[in-house]
Chain A
Amino acid sequence: MAKPPEVSHNGGGMIARRDLAVRVGARSDLSPTCFRLTLAAQEPLEASPGQFGMLSCGEGFDPLLRRAFSLAGVSRQGDTTEVELLIKEVGKGTALLRHLGLGSNLRLLAPLGNGFSLDGGTHRLALVAGGIGLPPVLFAAEVLAARGTGFDLYLGATSAAELLELKRCGRAASRAGGELVLTTDDGSRGEKGLVTAALGRRLSEGRVYSRVLACGPTPMLAALTLLARGQGLEAELSLEEPMACGVGVCLGCVVKLADGRYAPTCKDGPVFRTSDLAAGWWA
C-alpha cells in the first residue's frame, strides 16, 4: 500500500460521495437474525464491492450515530437507485432498522472507503465470508462472476439457518467456474468447523489462489491473517470497527498498521491487505 497522504484533499478520483435521501423500499428476512434492506434513492450512486455506507436509523438523537454497512449491491432501475444491504440485528440501531415501516425516509452517506481489488490473476481467487460478513463478498462475487474472473466462494456460519443467500452464492460461484464451500460451526450444513479451516485444508491439499478476499468477524479475519502469512498468500480483509463519522474525521475506528500508525478503517479501509496491517492488528 502506498502511504496515504496525511491530509485528505477530498479523495480526488474517487467515486463521488453523497449524503442520499433514501426510502426503505423492501425488507425480507434472511435468517433468524439477519435481514435484507433495499433502499431506494432518486440520485444515482456508483460503488464498488467492499465500499460501505453510513445509514441513519431513524429520527431523533437515540441512537445518535449512523450505522456502517458494507454495500451488498447497487443497481439502477429506471430513474431509481436501489441499494441493497444485508443486516444482522445486534443492537438498538439494527433493531430499529428491522422494524421501520416500508417507505420510511433515511439518509445514506455513500459510497465510502476503499473496496476490494478486483483484478484476477494467474489462479482463481478465494472469496471468504463469515456470517454477516457476506455483503461485500457477495457484491464482489457477483461483479467478478459477471466479468468472468474465476473464484471459489467459502461461506461460513454458526448453523445452517444462518447461511445467507445460498442460491445467489451458488449461482455466482458456478458462473465463476468455482466451488461453493459451506461450513457451519455445528455441522448442520456443509463441513463442520470454521470457514478458515476449510480454506486451510484445500490450501494444504495443493489448491492455489492468486489472492483471498474476505469479510467476517474479527476472530475469523485474525485466523485468515495467520493462514495467509503462513502460506505467503495475499489477502484483502474488510474490517469492521465501531464508527462515528465514516469519513475519517473522528478517528474512532482506527486499526494499527505495520508501520505503527493508527489508520481510520473508514477512510484508509475498510479493506486492507494483510501485509499492510500490524502483526497482531486484532489484539
Chain B
Amino acid sequence: MSIGLETKVGGLALANPIMAASGTYGYGLDLLEFCPPERLGAFVTKGLSPRPRVGNPIPRIVETAAGMINAIGLQNIGVEAFCRDALPVLRQRGAVVAVNVFGERMDEYVEVVERCEREDGIAAYELNVSCPNVTAGGIEFGHDPGQLKRLTAMCRTATHRQLWVKLSPNAPDLVETARAAVSGGADAITLINTLRAIAIDAEKRRPVLATGCGGLSGPAIKPIALRMVWEVHKALPAVPVVGIGGVESGRDVVEFLLAGASAVQVGTAIFREPGAPLRILSELERFCVEQGVAEVRELVGVLEWP
C-alpha cells in the first residue's frame, strides 16, 4: 500500500509533512549526505536578519533532562549572504525553502522579506516573533497582540508568498496572539518556539548559560506543544498550524497531526541524529500502513476529545 504523504499548509502544497526546523538545519546545505533538503516537505532556514549577527557569548547551550536549553542569540550570516550563497544551490536541488525572518525593529523584518522577494525559490516566510534569546525586538512583538498584528500586516504587504508566524509559548494569551497574527494576514501559525528556561550550576551559584535564561527544546516540551497546537486548532479551526516541539519519531508526528497540525517541524532531534527527519518520515509511513491510514491528511485534527 502506498501512503499519500502530501499535505497542505495554507496555500502551500508539500510532498510530505516533515520539515526541518529553523536553527537546526543551517541554511539547508550542511547535512546533505544525511538529509538532503529536497527530500523534506520543506525546511526552515536559520533566522535571517538584514545584516549578519554575531550572537551571544558562551556558554550558549546546556543539556537538561530529555531536553536542552539554548541561547544562541540568532547568530546568522544575514539575508544577503543567504540569497547569494545558499539559495542558488537550494533552487537547483528543488528544495522547498521557508525563510525564518528576524529583526530588532519591525522595518527590519520587512527589509528581510523585501530582499527575499527579489529571488525565486522561496516558498514561505516564517516570522520569528518568539526568540527568547535576544533582548531587542522579536519577543516583544510576539507577546503583544497589537504589535504582532501590525508587524504581520507590514510583512503581508511586502509579499504574496505564504506567511507563517512562529509563536511564543511564553506569550500571556496564546489564542489571542494567534488571532492577532491571522488578522494581520498570516497564512499559518507555527507552534511552538522554545520555552523560557534556566539551568543553574549549584556549585557556582550561577546560571549555566552566559545569558542566564535560554529556550528549552526537545522531548521534554512535546506535551506542552501538543496542548498548544490543540488549543489554537480548536479556537481557530480554519487556521493551518505547523506543529513543532520535541518530535523524535513517526508516532510523534501523528500526535501533532491529530492535535491539528497540518505539518510538523523536526528540530532538536537533528542535533541527536542528522538523518532524523528522513527516519521520522519513514516511521510515519510505516505507522500509516499499519493503521490503515491511506493519506496522512486524514489525520489532521481528528483527535477524539474525551
Contacts and interface: CB of A to CB of B under 8 A. Distances in A.
A249 B26 contact: yes
Contacts of A198: none
Interface in B12-53: 23-27, 29-34, 46
Given A242-B61, A252-B70, A254-B75, A247 B81 contact: no
Contacts of A247: 30-31, 274
A115 interface: no
Q: What is the interface of chain B mostly: helix, strand, loop, or mixed?
A: loop
A16 interface: yes
Nearest to B72: A251
Interface string A4-18: 011111100000111
Interface residues of B, number: 45
A19 B29 contact: no
Contact of A64 (B30, B60, B218, B270): B218
A24 interface: no
A65 B33 contact: no
B271 A244 contact: yes
B119 interface: no
Main secondary structure of the interface of A (DSSP, over half): loop
Nearest to A9: B29
A251 B75 contact: yes
A79 interface: no
B197 to A, nearest CB: 14
Contacts, number: 114
Nearest to B276: A19
Given A242-B61, A249-B24, A19 B275 contact: yes
Interface of A: 5-10, 16-19, 56, 61-66, 107, 109, 241-245, 247-255, 260-262
Given A249-B24, A262-B54, 15 more contacts: A7-B81, A7-B86, A8-B26, A10-B29, A10-B33, A17-B34, A19-B34, A62-B66, A64-B63, A64-B268, A247-B31, A250-B61, A252-B60, A252-B72, A261-B54
20 contacts: A6-B85, A7-B27, A7-B86, A61-B248, A64-B63, A64-B64, A64-B67, A64-B218, A65-B68, A242-B61, A243-B61, A245-B274, A249-B270, A250-B23, A250-B271, A253-B58, A253-B60, A260-B54, A261-B54, A262-B75
